[in-house]
Structure 1
């Protein structure tokens, strides 16, 4: 298995090779204009900042660092950027964040930061008003804290805002859609500054991360798998077999050029394109998942994740099924796996049963999210001989199935 230590150089090489596509003017030649045009560049700057913090400036390829900062300086130096920042509209937090990250990476713009601070002090935009979405308030508070801005008295701190967020409220994994899982991961990132601060919660959060990670490993949503791997490290799950298998799925999925395909990437579409159109499609459908993988790898390596031993090879036979269905397996393959578990579980050793139970829980969550009653029934049947039929999650899945929820 290729470990995160091997993934990160591939990510860095691909980002440097494709740096020009982070320029909004280049992006818009072939890709739809974004509400915040420098959005991809903002994500790149956040990644570079985390890499610098965890591994030092020497870890950054000089061409990537200087090219990204030159581009950010050019964009923030335009009258258009300043005008849009001063509007203090819904995109204000991202304008602030670009300026803040420039400073953290050695190209400060104190004039623009002072403008941001003054706008927040005046209440322009009402960004911290209680009726605003909680994640938006937590995000802006994080950006402002990272920029060391002085905020008006009475604005809740990150810990207080996190207390009302998706991960802090003990969410039901069966009911979380992709947008809510993104909200889950980002709340953890902002509350902890990607691991610089302690996670506000312990066991309950860890259990939810474990279920979601198992679910997205089986489902093959690599974008969320990478983000959940980062959460796994922040909650003490980074050394588990589940995390290692998740890293294996990301490493196996990455392209030879270092990019990790996103959920909307379709190789068949790419094969029908050529030249700059092909480059644009590849970048637009891969850059975010590649950056998310890079973020997770940086945190993993920063926590002593290398050298990391390869997991033992899965010895599979009709009597000893694999630990989980293959990543991205279709429903019928998940059902066949569940049926093999149900047959093998009564005679299997306890370590096998524990691994299968964890995978069944993740697959249950995936089947519920897909509203697939046939697969859900097969998984609940497999949960019985594993001793996992009476867990809160399995009971909730069974109750919803009985109520016709998935039909």
Structure 2
């Protein structure tokens, strides 16, 4: 590490600039991690991660900021996979939350968050239901010298004079995330999953369900999303792929306050015999809204 930068960062930590009372927990984890790296020791995160709400938040009310809080919590609590998750963390609960957010962000075609969620899944060796299929679906986009950032499409309509600077600002982080994802994926131990021994998907049925979900949510622009074009190459079972598609569509419909579509998509998930964190949250939300208007 650059000596001058090391001294500057250490000085900031010594002055207490990382200990503000209004700092979110995952930012406090980041400070602990940076301090541990500087001092050559493992970050002490157990007491902080035990209080972190990111791993228990119902998937349907989570924001993008909550998804980033989850990934950063997992990164800094494990030193990017160098150490196991603390005992106070429920792997099952974290995995369910991560899969719910991954399906939603895959639907939203946000490569930045999809990349972070995948990197967190592989770094922590989580038994994710959706990570392998999501990685396959977006690999052609991630495997580029510069990866499309979440706001790149919006920036294209701006003035040409600021185009290059803003594209760099939008794409830099996503390209960095793609690099972290590659590193964590290559270093990740294999996760034993029974679905790895099952036949691949019924591609015609998967495509039909994806198109029907797009129609129900009334988002034809999603037809050009990277996961729609990449889904043909996935090897996971039909039930898994369709569950991911429906989870993403359901999350999008709920955030648009389209409860009729939420109910339809929820029934479609039940038809396939799939229970997910998103479907459970949808059932609670539908019951609450039915009783209370």
Q: Classify the TM-score, shorter chain.
A: 0.7 to 0.9
1:167 to 28, 46, 54: 54
Distance 2:140 2:8 in 1: 43
Q: What TM-score do the two structures reach when normalised by structure 1?
A: 0.55
Q: Secondary structure at the match of 2:130?
A: helix
Asked whether 1:294 is paired with 2:179, we answer yes
Partner of 1:397: 285
Distance 1:357 1:186 in 2: 26
Kindly indicate which of the two structures has a greater share of residues assigned to helix: 2
Q: Secondary structure at the match of 1:236?
A: coil
Distance 2:209 2:145 in 1: 26
Q: Is the 8 A contact 1:250 1:260 kept in 2?
A: no
Q: 1:389 to 1:188 in 2, by over 3 A?
A: closer
Q: Is the 8 A contact 1:232 1:243 kept in 2?
A: yes
Q: Secondary structure at the match of 2:218?
A: helix
Aligned length: 264
Partner of 1:204: 93
1:261 to 133, 136, 148: 148
Runs of 4+ in 1 over 6 A off after TM superposition: none
Return the index of the structure with the highest Cα Rg.
1
Distance 2:285 2:274 in 1: 12
Q: What TM-score do the two structures reach when normalised by structure 2?
A: 0.74
For 1:174-323, list aligned pairs within 5 A.
174-200=60-86, 201=89, 202-237=91-126, 242-254=130-142, 258-266=145-153, 269=156, 273=160, 277-303=162-188, 315-317=202-204, 320-322=205-207
2:273 to 379, 387, 391: 387
Q: 1:285 to 1:113 in 2, by over 3 A?
A: closer
Give the aligned CA root-mean-square deviation in angstroms: 3.7
Partner of 1:7: none
Distance 2:60 2:151 in 1: 23
For 1:348-387, list aligned pairs within 5 A.
351-387=237-273
Q: Is the 8 A contact 1:323 1:352 kept in 2?
A: no
Q: 1:329 to 1:253 in 2, by over 3 A?
A: farther
Partner of 1:140: 31
- CA deviations on 1:90-113 (whole Å, 9 max, x unpaired) are xxxxxxxxxxxx35xxx4656446
Structure 2 unaligned spans of 5+: 191-195, 224-236
Q: 1:230 to 1:386 in 2, by over 3 A?
A: same
Distance 2:137 2:283 in 1: 29
